[in-house]
A and B are shown apart, each in its own frame.
Chain A
Amino acid sequence: MKKTASFIFSPEQLNYEFSETHPFNQKRIILTMDLLKEMHSIDPDDIVEPRTATDEELLLAHDAKYIEIVKKASNGEVSESIGSIYGIGTEDTPFFTGMHDASALLVGGTLSAIEEVMEGRSRYALNLGGGLHHGFQGKASGFCIYNDSSVAIKYLQKKYGARVLYVDTDAHHGDGVQWTFYDDPDVCTFSIHETGRYLFPGTGNVTERGNGKGYGTSFNFPVDAFTEDDSFLHIYRTALREVAEYFKPDVILTQNGADAHYFDPLTHLYSTMKIYEEIPKLAKEIAEEYCDGRWIAIGGGGYDIWRVVPRAWSHLWLTMKSIPTPAGPLPEAWVKKWQTESPFPLIETWQDPPNLYEPVPRKKDIEEKNEQMLTRALHVIRKG
Chain B
Amino acid sequence: MLVQDIMKTDVITLNSTHTIADAVQMMKQKRIRHIPIIENDRLIGLVTDRDVKEASPSSISETSEPSLYETTLDKIMKTDLLIGHPRDFAEEAALLFYTYEIGCLPIVSNYQLVGILTKTDLLYNYIELTGANQPSSHIQIRVPNQAGVLYEVTKVFNKHNTNVLSVLVHPYQDDEDCKILAVRIKRMNPLAIITDLKAEGFDVLWPGELEMDL
Residues of chain A having any CB pair with chain B under 8 Å = 23, 80, 84, 90-92, 134, 141-143, 172, 175, 196-203, 225-226, 265-266, 268, 360-362
Residue of A nearest to B190 (CB): A200
Determine whether the beta carbon of B161 is less than 8 Å from that of A91.
yes
Complex Cα–Cα for A143 and B137 (A): 14
Q: Mark B48-88, 1 if CB is under 8 A from A, else 0.
A: 00000000000000000000000000000000000000000
Given contacts A196-B138, A201-B136, A362-B214, contact A143 B188 (CB under 8 A): yes
Given contacts A84-B163, A92-B187, contact A268 B208 (CB under 8 A): yes
Residues of chain A lying within 8 A (CB to CB) of residue B138 = 196-199, 202
Main secondary structure of the interface of B (DSSP, over half): loop
Residues of chain B lying within 8 A (CB to CB) of residue A92 = 186-189
Q: Which of A90, A172, A360 has the most CB of B within 10 A?
A: A90
Within 8 A of A (CB), among B159-208: 160-163, 184, 186-192, 206-208
Q: Which of B192, B211, B214 has the most CB of A within 10 A?
A: B211
Determine whether the beta carbon of A201 is less than 8 Å from that of B135.
yes
Residues of chain B lying within 8 A (CB to CB) of residue A172 = 188
Determine whether the beta carbon of B206 is less than 8 Å from that of A198.
yes
Determine whether the beta carbon of A196 is less than 8 Å from that of B188.
no
Determine whether the beta carbon of B161 is less than 8 Å from that of A266.
no
A sample of 13 inter-chain contacts (CB < 8 A) reads A23-B189, A84-B163, A90-B161, A141-B188, A143-B189, A198-B139, A200-B136, A200-B190, A202-B134, A202-B135, A202-B137, A202-B138, A225-B211
Given contacts A91-B160, A91-B189, contact A199 B137 (CB under 8 A): yes
Determine whether the beta carbon of B160 is less than 8 Å from that of A226.
no
Residues of chain B lying within 8 A (CB to CB) of residue A225 = 207, 211
Determine whether the beta carbon of A142 is less than 8 Å from that of B135.
yes
Interface check B132, CB cutoff 8 A = yes
CB distance from A261 to the nearest CB of B (A): 15
Given contacts A90-B187, A225-B207, A362-B214, 6 further A-B contacts (CB under 8 A): A134-B135, A141-B135, A175-B135, A200-B136, A202-B136, A202-B138
Residue of A nearest to B138 (CB): A198
Residue of B nearest to A92 (CB): B188
Q: Kindly identify which residue among A91, A196, A268 contacts B162, using a CB–CB cutoff of 8 Å.
A: A91
Interface check B212, CB cutoff 8 A = yes
CB distance from B160 to the nearest CB of A (A): 6
Q: Which of B139, B188, B207, B211 has the most CB of A within 10 A?
A: B188
Interface check B133, CB cutoff 8 A = yes
Complex Cα–Cα for A91 and B190 (A): 10
Given contacts A143-B188, A226-B207, contact A200 B212 (CB under 8 A): no
Q: Mark B113-145, 1 if CB is under 8 A from A, else 0.
A: 000000000000000000111111111100000
Residues of chain A lying within 8 A (CB to CB) of residue B214 = 362
Given contacts A91-B161, A91-B162, A362-B211, contact A202 B184 (CB under 8 A): yes
Complex Cα–Cα for A60 and B191 (A): 34
Determine whether the beta carbon of B161 is less than 8 Å from that of A361.
no
Residues of chain A lying within 8 A (CB to CB) of residue B132 = 196, 202-203
Residue of B nearest to A139 (CB): B135
Residue of B nearest to A175 (CB): B135
Determine whether the beta carbon of B135 is less than 8 Å from that of A200.
yes
Determine whether the beta carbon of B188 is less than 8 Å from that of A200.
yes
Complex Cα–Cα for A360 and B136 (A): 27
CB distance from B96 to the nearest CB of A (A): 26
Complex Cα–Cα for A268 and B212 (A): 12
Residues of chain A lying within 8 A (CB to CB) of residue B135 = 134, 141-142, 175, 200-203
Within 8 A of A (CB), among B9-49: none
Residue of A nearest to B132 (CB): A202
Residue of A nearest to B214 (CB): A362
Complex Cα–Cα for A172 and B190 (A): 14
Determine whether the beta carbon of B188 is less than 8 Å from that of A226.
no
CB distance from A362 to the nearest CB of B (A): 7
Residues of chain B lying within 8 A (CB to CB) of residue A175 = 135
CB distance from B52 to the nearest CB of A (A): 25
Residues of chain A lying within 8 A (CB to CB) of residue B140 = 198
Complex Cα–Cα for A360 and B214 (A): 12
Residue of B nearest to A134 (CB): B135
Complex Cα–Cα for A134 and B151 (A): 31
Residues of chain B lying within 8 A (CB to CB) of residue A80 = 161
Complex Cα–Cα for A141 and B136 (A): 9
For the complex of A and B, 7 pairs with smallest distance between CB atoms: A201-B135, A142-B188, A225-B207, A200-B188, A268-B207, A200-B137, A92-B188
Residue of B nearest to A84 (CB): B163
Complex Cα–Cα for A171 and B206 (A): 17
Residues of chain B lying within 8 A (CB to CB) of residue A23 = 189
CB distance from B194 to the nearest CB of A (A): 11
Residues of chain B lying within 8 A (CB to CB) of residue A143 = 188-189
Residue of A nearest to B133 (CB): A203
Q: Kindly identify which residue among A134, A142, A198 contacts B207, using a CB–CB cutoff of 8 Å.
A: A198
Complex Cα–Cα for A175 and B163 (A): 19
Q: Which of B133, B140, B190, B192 has the most CB of A within 10 A?
A: B190
Determine whether the beta carbon of A226 is less than 8 Å from that of B211.
yes
CB distance from A98 to the nearest CB of B (A): 22
Determine whether the beta carbon of B137 is less than 8 Å from that of A198.
yes
Complex Cα–Cα for A361 and B214 (A): 9
Residue of A nearest to B191 (CB): A265
CB distance from A78 to the nearest CB of B (A): 15
Residues of chain B lying within 8 A (CB to CB) of residue A362 = 211-212, 214
